């Protein structure tokens, strides 16, 4: 029978882990407008996200949708940046 491990959520939910996740999610995308705007208040946004996750009051913000026409018509659905972290 597998062993159940409990209470790891708060152990691994740290500012450093969220910052590391942010660096991984922005890799290769540093020139985009939403990345630049997020980086201006990076510490503030990450602390807000950490607080929401710790109190379990975080709500998903939604997606943005756009179409790409080359080489063929495709619908692209992208998650917002603060959710990627």
Q: What is the C-alpha R_g of the chain?
A: 16
pLDDT in tens, 13-28: 999 999 998 888 888 8
pLDDT in tens, 10-69: 888 999 999 998 888 888 887 888 888 888 888 998 999 999 999 989 888 788 899 999
CA distance 67 to 76: 6
CA distance 62 to 18: 20
Instruction: Answer whether 84's CB lies under 8 Å from 62's CB.
Output: no
Sequence-separated (6 or more) residues with CB below 8 Å from residue 67: 73, 74, 75, 76
Residue 8 has pLDDT above 80, yes or no: yes
């Amino acid at each position: 029978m597998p062993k159940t491990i409990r209470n790891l959520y708060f152990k691994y939910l740290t500012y450093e882990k969220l910052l590391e996740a942010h660096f991984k999610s922005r890799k290769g995308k540093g020139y985009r407008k939403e990345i630049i705007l997020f980086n201006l208040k990076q510490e503030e946004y990450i602390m807000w996200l950490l607080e929401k996750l710790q109190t379990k009051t975080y709500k998903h913000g939604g997606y943005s949708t756009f179409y790409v026409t080359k080489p063929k018509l495709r619908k692209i659905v992208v998650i917002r940046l603060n959710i990627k972290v």
